Amino acid sequence: MMKKGAMQKSKQWNVKGALRLAGVFHFLHSCGSGCLLPFLTLYFRHLGLSATMIGIIMASKHLLAVVWRPLSSVLARQYDKRRAVIVGSLLSSALVVLTLLLFPSTGIQAESGWCNASQPDADPTAILERTTVPSQSNATVYSINQISVSTEHPVEVTTLVSSNWSARGLRSMKKPEQEEDPHSEFLGSLKVMDAQHQMFFLVLIVMGLWELMAAPLEWTADDGLYEYLDFIDATDRYNGVKVWKPLGAAFGNCMVGVLVTSLFCLTGTTLEFYSYTVFMILTIPTAALLPIYLRKRERPTSGGFKALQLVHGNSQAILCATTVVLMGMVSSAVSDFLLWHMQDCGATEIHMGISLALAHLCQTGFAPIASHLSRFLKYHGWLLVLAVVSLALQCLYYSFLWGPWAVIPAQLLAGFSTGALWWSITSQSEDIATPGTEKTILRLFEVLSLELGAAFGSLAAGFVVQKFGVQVLFQGMAVTLALWSSTLAVLKWKIPRQRRINYSRLLAADTEMSESESDQENDWLETAMEDTRGNNKWTVDQS
| Residues paired with 127 in a beta bridge | 145
d(CA 196, CA 165): 19
**Please, are residues 51 and 337 in contact by the beta-carbon 8 Å criterion?**
yes
Question: pTM of this prediction?
Answer: 0.78
d(CA 434, CA 303): 11
Reported as a single tens digit per residue, the pLDDT across 392-428 is 999 999 999 999 999 999 999 888 899 889 888 988 8
Which residues, given as ranges, of the chain have pLDDT below 50? 1-11, 108-114, 116-151, 153-180, 182-183, 186-187, 503-506, 508-509, 511-521, 523-525, 534-543
DSSP strand pairing (126-132 vs 160-161): unpaired
Instruction: Determine the pLDDT at residue 437.
Output: 85
Residues 6+ apart with CB under 8 A from 90: 29, 217, 280, 281, 283, 284, 287
d(CA 361, CA 358): 5
C-alpha distances out from residue 20 to 17, 34, 161, 243, Å: 5, 21, 49, 12
d(CA 99, CA 4): 54
* Of the options 3.40.50.300, 1.20.1250.20, 1.10.3720.10, 2.60.120.10, the CATH number for the domain spanning 15-106+193-292: 1.20.1250.20
Handedness of CA 467, 472, 474, 479 (dihedral sign): negative
Instruction: Determine the pLDDT at residue 296.
Output: 56
Identify the H or E element spanning 340: helix 315-344
d(CA 358, CA 415): 10
Reported as a single tens digit per residue, the pLDDT across 465-493 is 999 999 999 999 999 999 999 999 998 88
Reported as a single tens digit per residue, the pLDDT across 63-76 is 999 999 999 999 99
CATH node for 301-509? 1.20.1250.20
Instruction: Determine the pLDDT at residue 62.
Output: 96
Q: Comparing C-alpha atoms, which of 542, 23, 53, 18 is closest to residue 336?
A: 53
Instruction: Determine the pLDDT at residue 537.
Output: 42
Domain with CATH 1.20.1250.20 in the chain: 15-106+193-292, 301-509
**Please, are residues 30 and 420 in contact by the beta-carbon 8 Å criterion?**
no
Instruction: Determine the pLDDT at residue 287.
Output: 93
Write phi, then psi, for 392 (nearest 5 degrees).
-65, -45
d(CA 372, CA 6): 42
Instruction: Determine the pLDDT at residue 286.
Output: 94
